[in-house]
Amino acid sequence: MTKTTPLNVLFLCTHNSARSILAEALLNHLGKGRFKAYSAGSSPRDNQVPNPMALRTLEKAGISTEGLSSKSWDVFATPDAPHMDLVITVCDNAAGEVCPYWPGQPATAHWGYADPSEAAGDDDQRLEAFRQTLHLIHRRLEIFINLPLTSLDKMGLEKSARELASK
């Protein structure tokens, strides 16, 4: 990775409506041009859109929601798709599924988070679940974006990303 070429990171979840959306927006916010984040789902529902509570949580945190959309991971498995350097699953369901072939064979890691959209309670309690998930993702991403460049080469990238799963 050079200083002018951002590291492309794809976050995967089942429906691409909450956790992967939060991770995409947050890495694009924190990455300051060193990283370009994307998100997708293994099986988004018909007419799937980002969870409104995920969008509200991002907006309340001052993070842009512009351009966020739910899409199938197939979009990133085509020859003309952006080349991914790292693919991170953020839900256990997607981690257990057979992924498509990713052009360039990117490094992979799994960072599991509970699904905030399944939280019980009133709107305030559910929003708190989204805020907590954003906070957990933020903690890992802060460490990740501050890794030295030597940790972000092909071999170091997978090792570093996988070690962060325990943080």
Tell me whether residue 86 is in a domain. yes
Find the CATH number of the domain harbouring 129.
3.40.50.2300
Check: CB of residue 9 under 8 Å from CB of residue 16.
no
- The parent domain of residue 152 ranges over 7-166
The answer to whether position 2 is within a domain reads no
The series of mean pLDDT values per 10 residues for the chain, 167 residues long, is 76 93 98 92 88 97 96 89 92 66 82 93 96 97 85 69 76
pLDDT at residue 143 in the model: 92
**Cα(94)–Cα(45) distance, rounded to whole angstroms?**
14
Any domain includes 56: yes
Does this model's pTM top 0.95? no
The answer to whether 77 and 101 have CB atoms below 8 angstroms apart is: yes
Residue 59, pLDDT score: 97
- How many structural domains is the chain composed of? 1
Residue 123 lies in a domain: yes
Residue 1 lies in a domain: no
- Quickly count: other Cβ atoms within 10 Å of residue 75's Cβ: 14
pLDDT at 84: 92
Check residue 2 and give its pLDDT: 43
Q: How far is CA 55 from CA 63, 90, 91, 92, 106, in A?
A: 9, 17, 18, 22, 28
Q: Decide the pairing of beta strands 86-89 and 7-13.
A: parallel
124 is a domain residue = yes
